[in-house]
């Protein structure tokens, strides 16, 4: 029977981006792939990218769609993510089961699905895969360090360390093995701060912690040299892990040069003028600012960050996604004269080609919400980070950026113009040479891992072999 993999991403920019890269890598290796997107994601993907023409090179690739149960005009932002999970539970879960049991994926591809690769949050998918007796490998698009805090959740609850009701945030955590020296309450995923365990997100993470170790394997967007000690911890519960990151550079290493430049999977229109603007700036002088595809900030937070950037004296490129600033946005509160033709110090736009922006020689630092994809993309380019984490895995990632990899500054739980100004000056000036050295080490290790016979290169080969032999 020929190999046919069904990949089912979480309906968010970061996971969709990763999944399409994995899909392309598997197609190149001769595996048939169906990517199952929600209707909403698929519409935006087709509207803003050339994904169909890009994948038309692979006759073994297909898209399939499924409803997320929400009306078209729902914002699907992190602020309302409970509704997204509710829609998934009531509509997507049963529809997914029906599709799998009826085998309807084989109508597009010429073969039935032989392996399922859903997002790690889709714990229901394992029950379905077991019901129809096909192997399942989870694709964890969060960081290994965040995944480890998820897998430790039962232990944390058992020891009474979680929940902690948002108090005494500097207390060190004892029950996430390997992190005892530096992981504080405030560095745990945001929802661990809730005062009870009945919150829907806690339930989802509890299910994930129960199901992921039962899968046939786990795919991670990391590389051995970056996360060796955390990966050893994860292996104690999930022995079969495939570390194939940085995924976007692994894909580039396997694509012909002529097709490497255009692998955008953006759900918004990318402003490419920002690249010409960057061309006019001095090397390593610009701060790039983005809080990713889902997170939001209040107007007051926006104004504080803006003032901090302006006061630092450095130019900045600011991504202000539609809907990312909540509350009444009052232009007069923002020092607007720094944007536009007359003063070229700030460039503000709604969405950029981030991988290309981070690769630009003018970028000297990244003020980021510490989403895992943004973190990895920054590492690859050797760009030091100012981490302002907001939700989910971001609190953990930012702590690892500052304390483990030492490639940036973590300003979590503050939003103050003076803190932002100081952090920008530290990264671009005061601590510049220190960060230059540490980011270079990480970037070089990442590049080595995806080169021929590097750890990620080899893990992808192992994944392809295992998928083809269907022997886990
Ligand atoms: N991104 C982009 N353009 C932007 C902002 C973000 O292409 O203007 C991409 C970025 O390259 C990354 C993804 O959006 O791949 C964001 O993923 P991440 O995991 O960092 O954060 P999330 O959006 O999931 O919170």
- Along the 472 residues of the chain, how does pLDDT read in single tens digits? 789 999 999 998 889 999 999 999 999 999 999 999 999 999 988 988 788 888 888 999 999 999 999 988 888 876 677 888 889 999 999 999 999 998 876 556 668 999 999 999 999 999 999 999 999 999 999 999 999 999 999 999 999 999 998 899 999 999 999 999 999 999 999 888 877 788 888 899 999 999 999 999 999 999 999 999 999 999 999 999 999 999 999 999 988 877 766 667 888 889 999 999 999 999 999 999 999 998 999 999 998 999 899 899 999 999 999 889 988 766 666 665 555 444 558 898 999 999 999 999 999 999 999 999 999 999 999 999 999 999 889 999 999 999 999 999 999 999 999 999 999 999 999 999 999 999 999 999 999 999 999 999 999 999 999 999 988 7
Please tell me the distance between residue 469's alpha carbon and the centre of ligand 1 in angstroms: 34
- Residue 29 CA to residue 25 CA, distance in Å, equals 6
In degrees and rounded to multiples of 5, residue 444 shows phi and psi of: -70, -40
Please tell me the distance between residue 373's alpha carbon and the centre of ligand 1 in angstroms: 6
Q: Identify the residue whose C-alpha is closest to ligand 1 atom 21.
A: 371
pLDDT for residue 442? 98
Please tell me the distance between residue 21's alpha carbon and the centre of ligand 1 in angstroms: 14
Please tell me the distance between residue 295's alpha carbon and the centre of ligand 1 in angstroms: 10
Place of tokens 């607007």: 336
pLDDT for residue 47? 87
pLDDT for residue 256? 80
Whether 293 lines ligand 1, by a CB cut-off of 6 Å, is yes
DSSP string spanning 16-41?
Answer: HHHHHHHHHHHHHTT-EEEEEEEHHH
Nearest atom in ligand 1 to the alpha carbon of residue 371 is 20
Tokens of 375: 């973190």
Which are the contacts of 464, defined by CB distance < 8 A and separation ≥ 6?
Answer: 26, 29, 31
Going by the DSSP 8-state scheme, the letter that residue 337 receives in this structure is: G
DSSP string spanning 97-112?
Answer: HHHHHHTGGGGTSSS-
Whether 355 lines ligand 1, by a CB cut-off of 6 Å, is yes
Q: How many CB atoms lie within 10 A of CB 452?
A: 7
ipTM of predicted complex: 0.99
Q: Identify the residue whose C-alpha is closest to ligand 1 atom 1.
A: 354
pLDDT for residue 342? 45
pLDDT for residue 148? 98
Query: pLDDT tens for residues 380-439?
Result: 999 999 999 998 899 999 999 999 999 999 999 999 999 999 999 999 999 999 999 999
pLDDT for residue 351? 93
Peptide bond before residue 246 is cis, with ω within 30 degrees of 0: yes
Angle of the 13-28 helix axis to the 247-254 helix axis, nearest 10: 30
pLDDT for residue 268? 85
Q: How many CB atoms lie within 10 A of CB 469?
A: 9
Nearest atom in ligand 1 to the alpha carbon of residue 352 is 8
What are the strands of the beta sheet with 61-66, ordered from one edge? 61-66, 32-38, 4-8, 115-118
User: Strand 316-319 and strand 137-140: pairing?
Assistant: unpaired
Please tell me the distance between residue 369's alpha carbon and the centre of ligand 1 in angstroms: 10
- Residue 51 CA to residue 130 CA, distance in Å, equals 32
Query: pLDDT tens for residues 83-115?
Result: 888 899 999 999 999 999 988 765 566 689 999
CB burial of 54-80 (b: ≥16 within 10 Å; e: otherwise) equals bbeebebbbbbebebbbeeeeebbbee
- Residue 391 CA to residue 255 CA, distance in Å, equals 34
Nearest atom in ligand 1 to the alpha carbon of residue 394 is 25
Which are the contacts of 7, defined by CB distance < 8 A and separation ≥ 6?
Answer: 19, 22, 23, 33, 34, 35, 36, 117, 118, 139
pLDDT for residue 130? 97
In degrees and rounded to multiples of 5, residue 68 shows phi and psi of: -100, 5
pLDDT for residue 341? 43
Whether 179 lines ligand 1, by a CB cut-off of 6 Å, is no
92 within 8 A of 69, measured Cβ to Cβ: yes
pLDDT for residue 40? 93
Exposed, middle or buried by CB within 10 Å (0-12, 13-18, 19+), for 370? buried
Exposed, middle or buried by CB within 10 Å (0-12, 13-18, 19+), for 1? exposed
pLDDT for residue 330? 66
Which are the contacts of 254, defined by CB distance < 8 A and separation ≥ 6?
Answer: 25, 28
């Amino acid at each position: 029977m020929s190999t046919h993999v069904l990949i089912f991403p979480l309906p968010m920019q970061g996971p969709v981006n990763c999944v399409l890269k994995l899909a392309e890598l598997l197609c190149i290796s001769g595996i048939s792939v169906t990517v199952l997107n929600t209707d909403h994601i698929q519409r935006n993907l087709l509207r803003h990218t050339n994904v169909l023409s890009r994948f038309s090179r692979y006759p073994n690739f297909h898209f399939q769609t499924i409803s997320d149960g929400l009306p078209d005009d729902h914002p699907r932002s992190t602020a309302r993510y409970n509704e997204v999970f509710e829609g998934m539970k009531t509509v997507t879960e049963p529809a997914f089961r029906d599709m799998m049991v009826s085998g309807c994926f084989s109508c597009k591809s010429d073969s039935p699905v032989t392996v399922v690769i859903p997002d790690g949050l889709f714990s229901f998918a394992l029950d379905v895969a077991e019901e129809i007796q096909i192997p399942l490998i989870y694709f964890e698009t969060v960081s290994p360090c965040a995944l480890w805090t998820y897998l430790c959740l039962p232990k944390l609850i058992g020891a009474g360390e979680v929940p902690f009701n948002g108090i005494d945030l500097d207390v060190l955590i004892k029950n996430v093995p390997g992190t005892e020296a530096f992981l504080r309450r405030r560095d745990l995923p945001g929802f661990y701060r809730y005062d009870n365990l009945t919150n829907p997100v806690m339930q989802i993470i509890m299910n994930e912690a129960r199901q992921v170790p039962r899968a046939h394997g786990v795919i991670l967007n990391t590389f051995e040299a970056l996360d060796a000690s955390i990966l050893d911890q994860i292996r104690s519960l999930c022995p079969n892990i495939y570390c194939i990151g940085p995924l976007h550079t692994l894909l580039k290493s396997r694509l012909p040069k002529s097709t490497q430049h255009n692998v955008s999977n953006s759900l918004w229109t990318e402003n490419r003028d920002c690249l010409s603007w960057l061309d006019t700036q001095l090397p390593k002088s610009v701060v790039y600012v983005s809080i990713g595809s889902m997170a939001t900030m209040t107007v007051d937070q926006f104004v504080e960050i803006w003032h901090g950037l302006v006061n630092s004296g450095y130019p900045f490129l600011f991504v202000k996604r539609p809907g990312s600033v909540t509350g009444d946005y009052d232009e007069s509160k923002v020092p607007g004269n720094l944007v536009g033709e007359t003063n070229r110090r700030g460039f503000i736009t709604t969405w950029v080609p981030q991988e290309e922006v981070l690769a630009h020689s003018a970028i000297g630092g990244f003020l980021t919400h510490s989403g895992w994809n943004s973190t990895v993309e920054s590492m690859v380019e050797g760009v030091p980070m100012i981490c302002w984490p907001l939700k989910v895995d971001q609190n953990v990632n930012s702590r690892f950026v500052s304390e483990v990899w030492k490639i940036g500054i973590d300003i979590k739980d503050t939003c103050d113009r003076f803190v932002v100004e100081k952090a920008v000056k530290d990264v671009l000036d005061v601590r510049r040479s220190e960060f230059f050295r540490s980011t270079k080490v990480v970037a070089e290790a990442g590049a080595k891992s995806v080169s021929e016979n590097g750890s990620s290169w080899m893990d992808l080969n192992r994944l392809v072999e295992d998928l083809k032999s269907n022997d886990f």
